[in-house]
Amino acid sequence: MRYRGIYRFMAGFVCTDASAGSASGVFASDGKARKRACRLIRRGRAVGAALCLFDGEGAVGVLTAGSIGGGRRALPSTWFRTASISKMVTAALALGLNRRGLLDMDGDISELLGFPLRNPKWPDVPITAAMLLSHTASVRDTDVLFHPEYSPAEAAERLSFTAEEPGKAFNYSNEGAALLGAALEKAAGEDLDAILRKEFGPVGTYFPSRLPSDAQLSDGIRILPRKKTLFSGGAAPAAPRSPGENWNRAHGGLCLRAEDLAGIARVLMTDEKYREMRDEVIPMGKRDPWITEGKGIFVIRYPESGGRVIYGHQGLAYGAAHGVFFDPVSQRGALILTSGCSLCREYVLTDLNRALIAEYLAPPEEGVWKKR
């Protein structure tokens, strides 16, 4: 509590350029909507950002502001490493493989991986794809995640597990989601990008080295200490490995532009094929009393949602915070991708993401939404 207050106080002195860089749709036609969006970005102390609203038909408006590092401005064409939002998309890919008969969500994931994945305290309890995507597989996060050079088997040998029986308790795990990606590749016989294209079309890549040579990939910039670059968008990682060996991508490596992400989220909001992602699996408990984990997606009941149940995911990495959220009832969604911003939060969602929900998803269908 004390640290959060100090961070908020210090972040209040951070100056960021939240003037609109480009605006389309409702943000181009409505000056008041544009000013409110810029004010929201400024309150979040975002160095640079792309904010997009969408409904059941498509994008309602896109606004960009500020810098993405290296003297570059945020543009609608800017690519962002989406961090944990990747997990939501990976979960949708898992459901797609399940529909195609290539993945048994409740089967022993060891059979796909080709090596045993077990909690040593519960050696007779199989770990499944459903457990990995809902963070109930009892896998802890350690520094294994920072060793992409490991093979999936080498990573699995170094995993740490909780004492709980798999499937019985929530424990958010990047490493579990990362291993799920390797299992999906084994199931499909092709890498994550190929699976992504079959599910959603050519919208992005889990491997930044595959971005076009002229692509503008955002840096990751921490505002405290101010503008220290933690991730350089100009540094392309190593080339992808053979399918099933890319264990370190599915949890947070997906690169998308704002309208790409809006397109995927719109499909998750409107297409019944993905309805089961919103089934509530397990509460987050003390980690966040307002969120229940679904199948790779957050089920959110924050006070800021105005009584609505909101779905989506947050991504935090390298000083940046991202969020994508939608309401299937009103058919409205909002997302923000940043190059760096205030990471202050109480429970899971950052202050910026809570403000995004309050601004665009909690009110009745009025104001900016009437401009559609």
- State how far the Cα of 194 lies from the Cα of 202, in Å rounded to an integer: 9
pLDDT attached to residue 233: 80
Cβ-Cβ contacts under 8 Å for 295 (sequence gap 6 or more): 91, 95, 130, 133, 134, 276, 277, 278, 279, 281
pLDDT, tens digit, 9 for 90 and up, residues 198-231: 999 999 999 999 999 999 999 999 988 877 788 7
Q: Give the confidence band of 7 by pLDDT, cuts at 50, 70, 90.
A: low
Question: How far apart, in whole angstroms, are the C-alpha atoms of residue 171 and residue 149?
Answer: 25
| Bond into 237 cis (ω within 30) | no
Separation in Å, CA 191 to CA 10, 140, 167: 43, 25, 27
Contact 266, 54 (CB under 8 A): yes
Q: Name the residue among 181, 184, 319 with its Cα closest to residue 248.
A: 181
Contact 55, 332 (CB under 8 A): yes
Residue pLDDT, tens place only, 45-61: 999 999 999 999 999 99
Q: Considering only CA atoms, which of 109, 283, 107, 103 is closest in space to residue 195?
A: 103
pLDDT above 90 for 239: no
Q: In sequence order, what DSSP letters do the residues of 288-335 get, joined into one string?
A: -TTEEE-SSSEEE--GGGTT--EEEEEEEETTEEEEEEEETTTTEEEE
The length of the chain in residues reads: 372
Record the pTM: 0.95
Give the pair of three-digit tokens for residue 154: 């080498």
Structure confidence by residue, pLDDT tens digits, 126-184: 999 999 999 999 999 999 988 989 999 999 999 999 999 999 999 999 999 999 999 99
Q: Which residue has the higher pLDDT, 233 or 294?
A: 294
| 90 within 8 A of 177, measured Cβ to Cβ | yes
CB burial readout 128-149, b (16+ within 10 A) else e: bbbbbbbbbbbbebeebbeeee
Nearest Cα neighbor of 51 from 277, 357, 310, 297 is 357
d(CA 17, CA 110): 49
User: What's the rounded Cα separation, in Å, for the pair 319 and 46?
Assistant: 10
CA distances from 158 to 10, 14, 118, 172, 175 (A): 38, 40, 12, 17, 11
**51, 39 contact by CB (below 8 A):** no
How confident is residue 21, by pLDDT bands cut at 50, 70 and 90?
A: confident
Within 8 A by CB and 6+ apart from 209, the residues are 236, 237, 238, 239, 240
The whole-angstrom separation of Cα 42 and Cα 22 is: 16
Neighbour tally for 71: CB within 10 Å:
6
For residue 370, pLDDT beyond 70: no
| CATH architecture of the domain covering 78-296+312-321+336-346 | 3-Layer(aba) Sandwich (3.40)
- 108, 130 Cβ separation under 8 angstroms: no
